[in-house]
């Protein structure tokens, strides 16, 4: 009805903004579905890229932390390892120094041949008899028939012929902690000796029938490691041959058991079990490193017979093995003079001790003169010494092994020359503890294998053995023996435990040398401030302890420093680990004496056991007289019979006619040779 819009004049007018009209540009095309998908994909890709960058940054942070942590582990591990090796080799050096002392003593009194003979025999246990007479003497002393088996004996029984059943019975008995009767020990050792006497100096080994042979390195009296090897690799047999590469005894607490098991295996399978001599198959080292003490402790009244037979057996052990004419296996290594032609011609039974060879005292003692030892005898001795004592080095050349005190260091050039000369492809040796149980050197031409795990401390190293397979590279098998009472250790726990044990051993060295260290520190600290520079501290500690270690790295674990970096040298002796030596209320002189005794305890025990030639655990009057006469000539002092008797009586505190080890230590304390040792240092 109303065609036009009606307006009310009473109401105020309303103003509305005009509606915007959206006009799409003519040139712009509408978004297609495909383009929308590409856009979403691009956004997703950007998000993934950002997330990847975030992940990468996290990985870099974790890797950096891990590498720093691993580097810290490596520094701590290497430091602990260096401590252990320095202390170990320092002990071997001391043993050789003791031997050299007696050699110098011989040279000093060489104008009187019989006095020189007495001096040499202090460390030389072999009989002065020779040939058939010596053989009869040994059989009379060590015959199993001398010892009867008591009816109360509950251990394993051995009779001839010794077979595999006896071998397995011994394994079970030793695992139960049973001790084999001395009668059966002598029986086994005589059977072993009979076989060894017919062997060449170098065992000839072939893998063509058995396809492989297993080489076992140092065991050092560790029955647990031998059991693991037998468990993983199988018991020895004609189909499963073994080469045991020396150092069967010493250091460990079950050396006699390990040696007997290997001996029985060789008796049962004489054509497929091989035993090389190591540097510890030597009575001079047994004096110090535990095997002699173990036999005396376990077999008491029969110890003398066993030790004499062991010493003779050592001399009959082959010095090396040759696998398939191209892999040479020996305990220590080679040198620039190593020659198989010479080695094969050596009468190895002469070397009852490699450190004290029999040519020092010829059968006709009245004609003895050290200066007249022929060069060919010295060259022959060097051949044996180098095979048992040498170590490889990274640089070329061949030089004396001053680190151990015996054998040589040989370089890659010597390896190449000797291998090429004899047409060998590989040298397998032992003699050195390796963290992984093995180590290749000299462009993989020298392989070190060490089979005693946890050698320095629990977690310090793995053990290993190597399987030589026909026409294949050597196969190395690693293992670690752990007692059931020991839980599995993490990497951090293992490194910490090894490091802690190493530091404790080092602190022990500080403790027993406290007075000498304090005296040296005081010389440098003229103002008596109690502080010296780090360079002075490192020099003094290295010189007094005779240990070449990274002292700057170790200082935070051994000593405190002040704000300017100076060393507070007395703080070492306030550590908790040393309080046991400082809390004892003794005078300064008494403390010094105790330190001197403890510092030289190993040396004194070695001297005591060397003088005690019949291994009775006491020094008889005859043994004491021989030493007094020898030392009297060395010092230019003559002792008559009464003086010797009076001296022995003053040492024999309980007046029973013999001198035991405690009386020997007490005599050392009373005489107070501390100043003598300090003057020498």
Q: At what angle do helices 588-599 and 601-611 cross, to 10 degrees?
A: 60
Residue 49 and residue 40: Cα distance in Å, rounded?
Answer: 14
Residue 414 and residue 505: Cα distance in Å, rounded?
Answer: 36
Judge whether 280 counts as a catalytic residue: yes
Identify whether the C-beta of residue 177 lies closer than 8 Å to the C-beta of residue 390.
Answer: no
Residue 333 and residue 320: Cα distance in Å, rounded?
Answer: 10
Residue 418 and residue 82: Cα distance in Å, rounded?
Answer: 30
Sign of the C-alpha dihedral, residues 454, 455, 458, 460? negative
Identify whether the C-beta of residue 422 lies closer than 8 Å to the C-beta of residue 340.
Answer: yes
Q: At what angle do helices 621-635 and 33-108 cross, to 10 degrees?
A: 90
Residue 248 DSSP SS3? coil
User: What is the gyration radius of the CA atoms in the chain, in angstroms?
Assistant: 36
How many Cα atoms within 13 Å fall on the side-chain side of residue 34? 0
* Residues sharing a CB contact under 8 Å with residue 191, sequence separation 6 or more, in sequence order: 160, 162, 263, 267
Identify whether the C-beta of residue 239 lies closer than 8 Å to the C-beta of residue 210.
Answer: yes
Q: Tokens representing 409? A: 């260091």
> Which parts of 125-178 fold into alpha helices (H)?
131-142, 164-175
Residue 429 and residue 571: Cα distance in Å, rounded?
Answer: 44
Catalytic entry in 183, 280, 331, 442:
280
For 465-500, give one letter per residue: b (16+ CB within 10 A) or e. bbbbeeeeebebbebbbbeeeeeebeeeebbbbbbe
How many Cα atoms within 13 Å fall on the side-chain side of residue 593? 13
Q: Which residue has the tokens 């590989």?
A: 426
Give phi and psi for 509, each to the nearest 5.
-65, -40
Residue 223 and residue 444: Cα distance in Å, rounded?
Answer: 30
Identify whether the C-beta of residue 431 lies closer than 8 Å to the C-beta of residue 452.
Answer: no
Q: How many C-beta neighbours within 10 Å does residue 675 have? A: 10
Phi-psi region of 333 (alpha: psi -120 to 50; beta: other; left: phi over 0): left
Rounded to whole angstroms, the maximal C-alpha distance in the chain is 164
Q: Which residue has the tokens 């530091």?
A: 503
Q: Tokens representing 583? A: 């809390």
Helix, strand, coil percentages (3-state) for the chain, rounded to 5, are 55, 10, 35
Residue 467 DSSP SS3? strand
Beta strand extents in 160-315 (DSSP E only): 202-205, 212-216, 242-244, 273-275
Residue 622 and residue 489: Cα distance in Å, rounded?
Answer: 54
Q: Tokens representing 577? A: 């680990």
- Burial classification of residue 413, based on how many CB atoms lie within 10 Å of its CB (0-12 exposed, 13-18 middle, 19 or more buried): middle
Q: How many C-beta neighbours within 10 Å does residue 534 have? A: 15
Question: What distance lies between CA 612 and its chain's CA centroid?
Answer: 27
Residue 30 and residue 180: Cα distance in Å, rounded?
Answer: 100
Q: Catalytic site residues?
A: 280
């Amino acid at each position: 009805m109303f065609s036009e819009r009606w307006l009310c004049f009473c109401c105020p007018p309303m103003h509305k903004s005009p509606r915007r009209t959206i006009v799409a540009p003519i040139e712009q095309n509408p978004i297609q579905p495909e383009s929308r998908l590409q856009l979403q994909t691009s956004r997703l890709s950007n998000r993934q890229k950002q997330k990847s960058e975030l992940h990468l940054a996290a990985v870099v942070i974790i890797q950096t932390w891990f590498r720093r942590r691993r580097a810290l582990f490596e520094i701590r591990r290497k430091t602990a390892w260096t401590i252990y090796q320095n202390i170990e080799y320092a002990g071997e050096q001391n043993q050789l120094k003791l031997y050299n002392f007696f050699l110098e003593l011989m040279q000093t009194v060489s104008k009187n041949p019989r006095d020189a003979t007495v001096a040499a025999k202090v460390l030389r246990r072999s009989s002065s008899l020779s040939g058939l007479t010596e053989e009869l003497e040994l059989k009379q002393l060590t015959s199993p028939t001398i010892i009867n088996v008591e009816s109360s004996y509950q251990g394993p029984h051995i009779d001839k012929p010794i077979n595999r059943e006896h071998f397995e019975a011994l394994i079970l008995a030793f695992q139960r902690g049973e001790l084999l009767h001395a009668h059966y020990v002598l029986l086994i050792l005589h059977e072993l000796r009979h076989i060894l006497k017919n062997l060449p100096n170098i065992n000839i080994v072939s893998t063509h029938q058995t396809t492989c042979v297993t080489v076992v390195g140092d065991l050092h009296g560790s029955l647990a490691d031998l059991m693991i090897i037998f468990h993983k690799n199988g018991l020895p047999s004609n189909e499963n041959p073994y080469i045991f590469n020396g150092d069967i005894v010493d250091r460990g607490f079950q050396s006699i058991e390990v040696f007997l098991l290997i001996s029985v295996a060789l008796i049962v399978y004489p054509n497929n079990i091989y035993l090389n001599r190591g540097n510890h198959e030597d009575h001079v080292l047994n004096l110090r490193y535990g095997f002699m003490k173990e036999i005396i402790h376990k077999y008491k009244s029969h110890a003398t017979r066993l030790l004499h037979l062991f010493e003779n057996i050592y001399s009959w052990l082959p010095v090396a093995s040759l696998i398939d004419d191209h892999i040479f296996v020996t305990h220590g290594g080679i040198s620039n003079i190593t020659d198989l032609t010479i080695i094969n011609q050596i009468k190895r039974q002469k070397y009852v001790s490699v450190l004290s060879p029999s040519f020092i005292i010829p059968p006709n003692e009245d004609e003895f003169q050290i200066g007249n030892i022929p060069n060919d005898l010295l060259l022959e001795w060097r051949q044996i010494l180098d095979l048992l004592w040498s170590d490889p080095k990274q640089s070329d050349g061949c030089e004396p092994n001053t680190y151990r005190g015996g054998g040589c260091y040989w370089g890659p050039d010597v390896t190449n020359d000797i291998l090429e000369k004899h047409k060998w492809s590989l040298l397998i040796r032992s003699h050195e503890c390796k963290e992984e149980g093995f180590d290749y050197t000299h462009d993989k031409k020298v392989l070190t294998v060490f089979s005693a795990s946890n050698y320095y401390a629990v977690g310090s190293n793995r053990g290993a053995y190597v399987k030589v397979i026909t026409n294949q590279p050597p196969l190395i098998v690693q293992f670690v023996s752990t007692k059931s009472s020991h839980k599995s250790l993490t990497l951090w726990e293992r490194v910490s435990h090894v490091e802690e044990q190493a530091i404790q051993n080092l602190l022990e060295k500080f403790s027993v040398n406290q007075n000498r260290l304090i005296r040296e520190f005081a010389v440098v600290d003229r103002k008596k401030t109690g502080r010296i520079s780090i360079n002075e501290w490192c020099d003094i500690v290295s010189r007094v302890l005779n240990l070449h270690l990274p002292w700057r790295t170790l200082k935070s674990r051994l000593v405190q420093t002040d704000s300017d970096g100076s060393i507070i040298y007395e703080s070492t002796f306030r550590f908790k680990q040393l309080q046991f030596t400082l809390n004892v209320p003794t005078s300064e002189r008494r403390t010094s004496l105790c330190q001197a005794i403890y510092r030289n305890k190993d040396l004194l025990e070695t001297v005591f056991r060397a003088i005690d030639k019949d291994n009775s655990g006491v020094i008889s009057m005859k043994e004491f007289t021989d030493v007094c006469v020898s030392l009297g000539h060395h010092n230019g002092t003559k002792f008559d019979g009464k003086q010797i008797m009076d001296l022995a009586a003053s040492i024999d505190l309980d007046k029973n006619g013999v001198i035991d080890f405690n009386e020997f230590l007490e005599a050392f304390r009373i005489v107070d040779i501390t100043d003598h040792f300090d003057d020498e240092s």
